[in-house]
Structure 1
Amino acid sequence: MPYLDNAGAALPSKRQLDELSKFRNDMILANPHSRHSTALKTKQLMNSARLRVLQYFNASSDDYFVVFTYNTTHSLKIVAENFKFTRTKTEEVSEISNILYENQSQFAYLYDSHHSVIGLRNFVKNRVDSISCVSENAFENIPNTSNSLFVLTAMSNFCGKKYDLDNIAKLQEKGWSVCLDAASLVSTAPLDLKKYRPNFVALSFYKMFGYPTGVGALIIRKNSEQMIPKNSFAGGTVQSVEEDSFYFISKDLEDAYEEGTMNFHGIAAIQHGFDEIERCGGIKNIQNKTYSIAKQMFKMLSTKVHENGKQVVEIYSQNSSEFGTQDEQGAIITFNIKRPDGGYYGYNEVEKICAIFGIEIRTGCFCNIGACRKYLGISHEMIQNNQRQGKRCGDEMDLIDGKPTGAVRISFGRQSEEDDILVVENMIDNCFVGSMAQFSQVSTSLKIHNYSPEVVRLCAFPIKSCASETKDSFNLTERGFEYDRDFMIVQSGITLSLKTHPELCRISATISEDKSMLEIKAFGEMLEYPLKYSNNSEQERFVCRNKISTISCDEKTNKWLDNVLDMQNCQLVRVTNDSFKSFVNESPFLLINEASVHILSQIINIPTSEIITRFRSNIVVRGMPPFIEDTAKHLSIEGINFEVVDKCLRCEMICIDPDTGVKDPSLILALRNFRKNQKLTFGIYIRQTSFQQGTSINIGDMVQFN
C-alpha cells in the first residue's frame, strides 16, 4: 500500500518501534521535577535528547537551547504570546496589510503559511502597530524596524516550495526577529543552524520520524529569549513565587518555557527516531531519495494527456512545467485531475479511487489557505460564496460552480519507493485517462409523484459492515428495522469498517426468532449469541460522530471473532436497549431504485443482484425510471410516512466484491461517469416522520412519493 501522506505524518519503522518497546520494558521513568534517582535519570535522558536535537541541526549549545513543546503549533504560540512588541498605536489592528512598514512594531508572515502561523495574529493584534501577510517579493526591500517578528515558512506544506533561508539574515539586518516554521522542511531535508541562524525554530518530531506524537521543539537562539520574556508561569517554571501577589521569578532557559510536566516518555523516544534516520543513511540521503522519486512522479503526471490532447493533471507548483531543483523544491506534489472536456474531477472522488488502489494521500487545502488560494485562483469573493453555499473545512464539497475548492497532495518519505509511481500511474491510466462511456441523464420533465413503485427487496445488517440478512418483512422500531446494525465489531476500541476491513463482508449475521439467537457465520465457523440483553456495564462510544451507549458481549464471542478474523482484542458490542440510535452512519434507512442499478449493470457487466448487494440498501423498489429517486422529498410505504434526509454519497466500499472481499473499481467509475460533474451519490437516506408501534414493511408494499 503506497503511503503518500508523509507531509501529514512520517511513518515509524518496525525496528524503531521494536527498539522503543524494548527500551520501555527496560527503563522506568518518572516526573523529572522530582529529585529521587528515577526522576534524575529521566531528567538526564531529557537533557541528552536536547543535545541530540542540537547536534542533528548542527547547532552548538553555546548558541541555542531546546524547549520541548507539544508540537509546532505550541512552539509558535510560545513565541507569539510572549514576544516583546512595542506598539505606538492605541487602537487594535483590524486589517491585514500586504506590505511591511518602516519603524513599526509589527507581526508578519508569508501568504504561504500554515494556519498555525496565521492563527497567531489573534494573539498579537492588540500588541502591535500592524500585521502583514506578504509574498516573498517583500524581501526585495525590507524596511528597518525593531521589536518586530517575522514567522518565515521554510517549506510550503501545500506544494513543497522551499523558501530562500538567506532571507533570515536579511530580515535580522533590518531589525527583525525571525521565527522559522521548519515543520514541513525537516521532514525530508536538513536544516543547518550554523549556516542559517533564526532567532527561533518551531518543529514537530512526528513529521520527521513518525513517533513520538505530541512532542515538538522550540529551538531558541541564546539572547533571543530576551525578546520573549515569560509573562506567565506554571509548575516547574519558576525560581520564586508568591500566591497572593503578582510576584514571580522565572527559571532560566528551557526551564522557563516548559510549563507543567512534559511528555517525558515521548521525549525519551526521540533518540530512537534519530537512530532511524541514521540507519537510512542520514537526512541528506533521505532528501536525495525523496527528491528523486518526487521528480519522477512529477514527470509522469505532467506528461499524461487525454485522447483529445488535453492535460490530465494540473500541477500546482512554482513552475508547473518543470520540477524545481533540490534547493527549490521538496518531496511534495499537489495537483487536481481534469476531465477530457477541461472540467475537474473533485478531489474527494480522486481520493476514493486512490483508496481502491491502496494509495493513501491527503486532499483539501492542507491547513494552508493562502497557498491554496494562490495556486487555485480562489478570490475573496469565491471564499465567501463557498461559505454561503455551505463549504466547511474537511467536508465533501470539493467542487463549487465547477471550480475545485482544494487539491490532491502526494508527499514522499524515507520509506517511499519508485514502485509507488507505478501504482499511481496505473490508477490514473485506468480511471482517468481516455474516453469513458457516458450515460444519458434523467429527463427533468419526469415527475416522481406520477409513479408508485413496489418494494421488491428488504435487507438488514445485524452487525455493522457485515453481510446483510434478507427477509420478506421487517418490523419497525424507533431505530429502524428491528436489529438493523444493533451490533458492531471493535478492535482495541476502534470500530472495524468494511472500508478498512473488506473481509467483514464474508461474515453473515441472521436473527433466529425461534431460538432468540444472533447466528454468526464466518469462514466455515458458526456462533450463536443470545438476543436477550445482558447486564454488562454500559460504555459510550462515538460512531460516525454520534455518541451511542453500548454494552459489550461475552468473552466467548470475542475470542471467536479473534479466531475467525485472525486478529487480537476483538469485541462484539451492542447498542443498549433504550438507545434511540443504532450504529447507522447517516439515517435508519437507505432506499435504492432497481432501474438505476440496472443502468450501471449494463455498463460494467456485473449482475444487478450483485450491485444491489454492494450498495448495501435496506429497501429496493421497482417500477419507476432510473435515477428519478434523486428528486424525492417525501414518501409513504403503505401509509407509513418518511422524509428524505439526503442522497447517499458513495465511497470505495461499493467496489468490494461481496463474495471475495477483493476491490474492483468498475462500479464507482461507472457511477462517476453517470454523475459527470456531480457528487458520487446513489440511493436516498430516509427516516420515519413519526413512529407507530407494531408496524412493518413487507415485500410487495406500494410506495407513494409526494
Structure 2
Amino acid sequence: MTSPSIGAQSSNSTNSSGDPSSDHDAERLAYNARIAELREAEYPMLKDQIYLDHAATTVPSASLLAAFAKDMTSKLFGNPHSLGSASSQTSSMCCDNVRLKVLRLFGADPAAFDVVFVANATAGIKLVAEAMACQPHGGFRYWYHRDSHTSLVGVREMAMQGVSCLEDDAAVEDWICSGTERGSGDEVCGLFAYPAQSNMNGRRLPLSWCGSIRSTNGGICTLLDAAGLVSTSPLDLSDIQTAPDFTVMSFYKMFGFPDLGALIIKKDAGRIFEARRYFGGGTVETVACGGNHEWHFKKDTTLHESLEDGTLPISSIRALDLAIDNHERLFGSFSDISRHTGFLVSTAYTQLEALRHSNGSPVCTIYNDRTDMDNRGPVIALNLLDASGDYVSLQEVQKLASINNVHLRTGNLCNPGGVSHALGMDAKDLMENYSVGLRCSSDRDILNGKPTGVVRLSFGAMSTLADVNQFLTFVKDSFVENTPIDNEDSMVMDHDTNTNFCITSLVVYPIKSCGGYLVPPDTPWMVRSEGLAWDREWCLVHQGTQVALNQKRFPMLALFKPQLDLPQNLLHVQWIGTTTDKVSNTISIPLTLDIRLFREASVASVLSCARTSCTERARPLIYSALEITNFFSAHLDMPVYLARLPPKNHLPLSDEKGILACHFVSGENPQDMPGSFPTPPPSPLRFQSEDELETRQSPGSLANESPILVLFLPSLDRVNALLPEKTEQISPESFRGNIVLGALDVHRKQTDEMSKTLPLRLIEDGLTTLEIYNESSMAWKQPFKLNLMAPCRRCQMVAIDQNTAMRKPEVFAHIAKVRRSNGGVWFGVHAAVDKDDNDYRHELGLVVRVGDRVRGS
C-alpha cells in the first residue's frame, strides 16, 4: 500500500483558540485528515496507542525502515578509512553528501559551517565542553539558562573559571546588555548555553541572543541546544552573524530513526578544538609511538575530520539521508509540521484547562503560559488534581496511562531548573527531598503535599486530533470525579468494635511475582515475623542485571504455578503458557538446602533488592543446575536464574551429608510446621509515618513491603458493587493477598450517603489489629495478633489476569476511581505479627488455617 504524501501548505497563520469549528481551522483540519490517512500505512505501531512522548523520541515511518532495509541489502558500504576500495568510496561519498544535506536543511552555508556526526545532542555538548576545558589560562567561564536540559547543566562541572545560572530571560537580557566580564582576564574563554525550546513545557527562547552576544560580548562562544525545537519546527542558520557558534540536535527526535546526532560548528569558532588533547582513529595524519618519540599530527583539512574519533556510523548516516527525504515527502516542510502540531497543542491546552470536577474545582494545573501559546512547541507540562485540590501521584498517572496504552513522560524530565521553578522548589527543598529518599524515577513523587515532578505531553508530526481526544477521554474516565466528595478523612470509617471474620483462604507465593499456592483447607500453616511459611523465598533473577524480575514488568511470570509438595520435600513448578519444544512444562525442585544444588560462586552473587523496590539487601543463592535455569529461561524467552533466599540470609553450613536439614514435613505439632526463616527473628516492622503510609521489607524476605497482605472479601464486594453493568467482577486473585477474610458478623455504620462517597470507605480502614483464634492459639490461653500496618498501595499489577497474564486495564482503572487518596490507590492491608503481644516463645507456635475465626478491632 502506498501512503499518501503531503505537500507544502501555504498558510502561515495560527489559531490558539483551540476551536476546530472556526473557519480559520479548516486548513488545519484538512492537513490533520491527511495525516490520519497516511498514519494507517506508515505508522502501524501506533494502532490502538496514544503516543504523547515525541519530545523524548518520535516514531519512524514504515516506508523509511523499508527503504533503509532495501538500501542496506542492495549496496555495499565499507569503512571510510579503508581508502581505495569501492565500498569505502561509497561510504565516504555518502557521508559528504549527508553533511551537505544537513546543512541545507537548516539553511547553513557550507563555507561557514561544518557538521560533526555524534551519538546524540548530549555527545555534541560534551565534545564542546571538553574542548573548552582544555583552553589555556585556566579553562573557561560558563553561563547557562535555568530552563536548560540536564546535559547543558552538567557542563558547569568543567568550568573552572566560574559558573552563572541565569534565572530567566530578563536576566539573560540584562547580562547581554551589561557586557559582563568574561572572567579573571581578557584571555579567559567564555561559553553561554541555552535551549532553543524548553523540553519541559515547550517554551521557545529567543534565537536572537546568539547574535547579541556576538556583538556585545566578543570572545564568548554560544551553544544552542536545538534538539527540542527542530523535532517539529524549522531552524534557520542562514545569517552567519546571528547564528550560534555550536548547535546540537538528535535526529531520532526529528525522524524516529536513525539514533544519531549532530554538532553544527561555525567554522570561525572551531579554534577552540585546537587545544583538544585526545585523538582517536581517523583524526590524525601521523603518530609516533615508543621511546622518546611520542608525537602526532592532527588532520586539519576540515573540522569534522579532526573531531570524529573512530569509524563513522555509516549505516546510520545513510539512514539519515533517507530519513530527510522521506520526512519531507510525508509531511511537507517543518513549517507545515509546526503549524499542525501547534494546532494540536492549542486544542489540547484549551480542553484540559476547561476540565472540572463535579464540585467545580480544576482537574489540571498547567505550567504553560496561556498568553504565549503562539510561541511554544507542541508540549504541555501539567499536574493532575483530585476534587479536593490535592495532587494526584505521578506514579498513579503513569500506572493508569500504561494500562490504557497512553505513552507520556513524568518526573523532572531532565530539566531540573525548569521543573523546580514551575513547582516552586528551591535548592533547600530539593536537598530535603533527596534526604528522605527522592531519586530520579522514584515512586516518592509527592512530598509535603507537593509534587516532585510533572506530567509531560508532547506531540509530533504524525500526531492527530484523535490523540488529543483519546487522551482527554482517558483523563475524564480516570481522574475527573463526578461523585460528591466527603470533606472528612475518607480513609477512616466508624464501625462497631464487634467485627468478626473467618479465614476463607491462605495463599503463599513461593517464587516472587509468580503464581500463588493455595494452602489446603485442612493444613495448619506457620506464620512468623517474616510472613507465612515459604512465602517469597525464591525469585527469578536476570542473568545480566542480577535484578529480580517482577510481574509489573513481566506479566508472563503469572503463568508459573508453584505447588509445595511437603511430604516429598519438593517444589513443583508448572508452566501453563504456550508450550515449547525446548523444555518440559513442569519441573521439581528440592526444598532442602543441599549446598550441591547451588553455584560455588554464590557468595559473590549479591542481588540488590533495593533496585526492585525492596529496602534491604538480600544475598540469595543461585541454582547451578542447567535444567532449572533452562526451564525458566526458555519459557520466559530471556536469560534468568532461579535464586533462593536462604534461611539465615547467609550460606548454609553443611553437615556430614552436605545438607542443611531445616525443612520438615507438615504435621499437627506447630513446631514441626515447614518454613525457612531467620533465627532469632528480626525486630518488628515499622513504617516511617502514617501520612506517607510506608512499610519496610522484612529482613530475610523477598517481600516488597510487608510480611503479610490481608484482603477483606466484604470490601471487595463493595468495590464490585460499583462496577458498571455487565462488567466482569474483580476476583481476589487480582490482589495477590496472603490471608483472605470473609465476613461472619460485620456491624458497620453505613448510610446511603456514605455509599456515594469517594474515595470508597471500607471496613479495614478503621481496623488496627486482627486477633486470630484457633486450637493452637487457645493452647496458649489467648489469640495471637496481627498488626494492620498500612493500606496497600496498588499498581497496574492488579490488572494482570493471574491465569492468562493478559492485562485488564479496567480493573486498575476502577480501583483507582473508587479508592484514590493521599496520592495513591489503595486496597488490602499490610500486616505483621504483633511481637509486643506475642513473645518469642509464643511465636514459635503461631499457625493459621482456613476456617480460623478472626476478630478485628
Which residue pairs with 2:261 in the alignment?
Answer: 216
Which residue pairs with 1:620 in the alignment?
Answer: 740
1:58 maps to which of 107, 110, 132:
107
The farther-off stretch of 18-27 and 696-705 is: 696-705
Which residue pairs with 2:248 in the alignment?
Answer: 202
The SS at the match of 2:473 is helix
The SS at the match of 1:324 is helix
| Contact 2:133–2:158 (8 Å) recurs in 1 | no
The yes-or-no answer on 1:297 pairing with 2:341 is: no
Amino acid at match of 1:412: F
Which residue pairs with 2:145 in the alignment?
Answer: 110
1:608-647 matches, within 5 Å, as 610-621=730-741, 626-627=764-765
1:368-407 matches, within 5 Å, as 368-407=415-454
Residues 568-597 of structure 1, C-alpha deviations (whole Å, 9 max, x = no match): x93595505788899967369551231684
Residues 396-444 of structure 1, C-alpha deviations (whole Å, 9 max, x = no match): 1222221221111000112212111121111222222233365764559
1:76-91 matches, within 5 Å, as 76-83=125-132
Using the alignment, how far apart are the partners of 1:464 and 1:648 within structure 2?
17
The SS at the match of 1:409 is strand
| Contact 2:410–2:455 (8 Å) recurs in 1 | yes
Using the alignment, how far apart are the partners of 1:677 and 1:394 within structure 2?
19
| Contact 1:595–1:622 (8 Å) recurs in 2 | yes
The farther-off stretch of 9-18 and 623-632 is: 623-632
Using the alignment, how far apart are the partners of 2:501 and 2:457 within structure 1?
46
| Contact 1:107–1:121 (8 Å) recurs in 2 | yes
Amino acid at match of 1:269: A
Residues 85-138 of structure 1, C-alpha deviations (whole Å, 9 max, x = no match): 9798x8x9xxxxxxxxxxxx63111111011111110011x2x25534342113
The SS at the match of 2:123 is helix
| Contact 1:629–1:683 (8 Å) recurs in 2 | no
Amino acid at match of 1:414: A
Residues 260-292 of structure 1, C-alpha deviations (whole Å, 9 max, x = no match): 344443333322332331232243332222222
2:190 maps to which of 140, 148, 167:
148
Deviation at 1:160, TM superposition (A): 0.3
Using the alignment, how far apart are the partners of 1:209 and 1:25 within structure 2?
22
The farther-off stretch of 183-192 and 426-435 is: 426-435
Which residue pairs with 2:850 in the alignment?
Answer: 699
Deviation at 1:528, TM superposition (A): 3.4
Amino acid at match of 2:732: I
Which residue pairs with 1:96 in the alignment?
Answer: none
Which residue pairs with 1:653 in the alignment?
Answer: 797
Deviation at 1:470, TM superposition (A): 2.1
Using the alignment, how far apart are the partners of 1:134 and 1:587 within structure 2?
41
Deviation at 1:63, TM superposition (A): 1.5
1:494-573 matches, within 5 Å, as 499=552, 507=559, 509-511=561-563, 513=565, 518-522=573-577, 528-532=585-589, 545=611, 549=622, 570=637
Change (3 A) 1:393 1:603: farther
The farther-off stretch of 13-22 and 63-72 is: 13-22
| Contact 1:647–1:682 (8 Å) recurs in 2 | yes
Residues 185-229 of structure 1, C-alpha deviations (whole Å, 9 max, x = no match): 11111112214521111112222222233x321111112111332
| Contact 1:586–1:685 (8 Å) recurs in 2 | no
Change (3 A) 1:338 1:66: same
Deviation at 1:600, TM superposition (A): 5.0
Deviation at 1:544, TM superposition (A): 8.4
The yes-or-no answer on 1:249 pairing with 2:297 is: yes
Deviation at 1:76, TM superposition (A): 0.8
Using the alignment, how far apart are the partners of 1:255 and 1:479 within structure 2?
64
May I ask how many residue pairs the two structures share in their alignment?
672
Change (3 A) 1:684 1:45: farther
Deviation at 1:60, TM superposition (A): 2.8
| Contact 2:645–2:701 (8 Å) recurs in 1 | no
The yes-or-no answer on 1:227 pairing with 2:284 is: no
| Contact 2:815–2:825 (8 Å) recurs in 1 | no
| Contact 1:58–1:194 (8 Å) recurs in 2 | yes
Which residue pairs with 2:33 in the alignment?
Answer: none
| Contact 2:492–2:765 (8 Å) recurs in 1 | no
Deviation at 1:255, TM superposition (A): 2.1
Amino acid at match of 1:114: H
Change (3 A) 1:487 1:81: closer
Amino acid at match of 1:201: T
2:233 maps to which of 189, 206, 212:
189
1:600-615 matches, within 5 Å, as 601=719, 604-605=722-723, 610-615=730-735
The SS at the match of 1:626 is helix
Amino acid at match of 1:191: L
Change (3 A) 1:393 1:574: closer
Deviation at 1:295, TM superposition (A): 1.4
2:214 maps to which of 169, 172, 181:
172
The yes-or-no answer on 1:409 pairing with 2:456 is: yes
Percent identical among aligned pairs is 26
Using the alignment, how far apart are the partners of 1:209 and 1:630 within structure 2?
56
Change (3 A) 1:258 1:670: same
Which residue pairs with 1:4 in the alignment?
Answer: 52
Q: TM-score by structure 1 length? A: 0.79
Amino acid at match of 2:170: N
Amino acid at match of 1:604: L
Deviation at 1:545, TM superposition (A): 3.4
Using the alignment, how far apart are the partners of 1:481 and 1:23 within structure 2?
60
Residues 646-701 of structure 1, C-alpha deviations (whole Å, 9 max, x = no match): 874322232346678453446555456545224334446679999x9999874357
Residues 225-275 of structure 1, C-alpha deviations (whole Å, 9 max, x = no match): 113324222322223444457744332211222223444433333223323
Residues 585-643 of structure 1, C-alpha deviations (whole Å, 9 max, x = no match): 736955123168447526535999944211122343568950467899xxxx9899999
Could you say which structure has the larger radius of gyration? 2
The yes-or-no answer on 1:430 pairing with 2:477 is: yes
The yes-or-no answer on 1:260 pairing with 2:310 is: yes
Residues 445-466 of structure 1, C-alpha deviations (whole Å, 9 max, x = no match): 9999x99987542334577766
Residues 486-520 of structure 1, C-alpha deviations (whole Å, 9 max, x = no match): 57699999999755676876x47353848985333
Superposition CA RMSD, Å: 4.8
Amino acid at match of 1:363: T
Amino acid at match of 2:587: P
The farther-off stretch of 602-611 and 36-45 is: 602-611
Which residue pairs with 2:24 in the alignment?
Answer: none
Change (3 A) 1:501 1:16: farther
| Contact 2:539–2:549 (8 Å) recurs in 1 | no
Residues 132-172 of structure 1, C-alpha deviations (whole Å, 9 max, x = no match): 43421134341335632111210000000111212221111
Using the alignment, how far apart are the partners of 2:293 and 2:854 within structure 1?
74
Change (3 A) 1:630 1:28: farther
Which residue pairs with 1:457 in the alignment?
Answer: 505
| Contact 1:3–1:359 (8 Å) recurs in 2 | yes
Which residue pairs with 1:564 in the alignment?
Answer: none
Deviation at 1:55, TM superposition (A): 2.5
The SS at the match of 2:331 is coil
Using the alignment, how far apart are the partners of 1:644 and 1:33 within structure 2?
69
Amino acid at match of 2:56: G
Using the alignment, how far apart are the partners of 1:558 and 1:149 within structure 2?
54
Residues 529-550 of structure 1, C-alpha deviations (whole Å, 9 max, x = no match): 2325899999999998369857
| Contact 2:710–2:831 (8 Å) recurs in 1 | no
Q: TM-score by structure 2 length? A: 0.67
Which residue pairs with 2:201 in the alignment?
Answer: 159
The SS at the match of 2:464 is coil
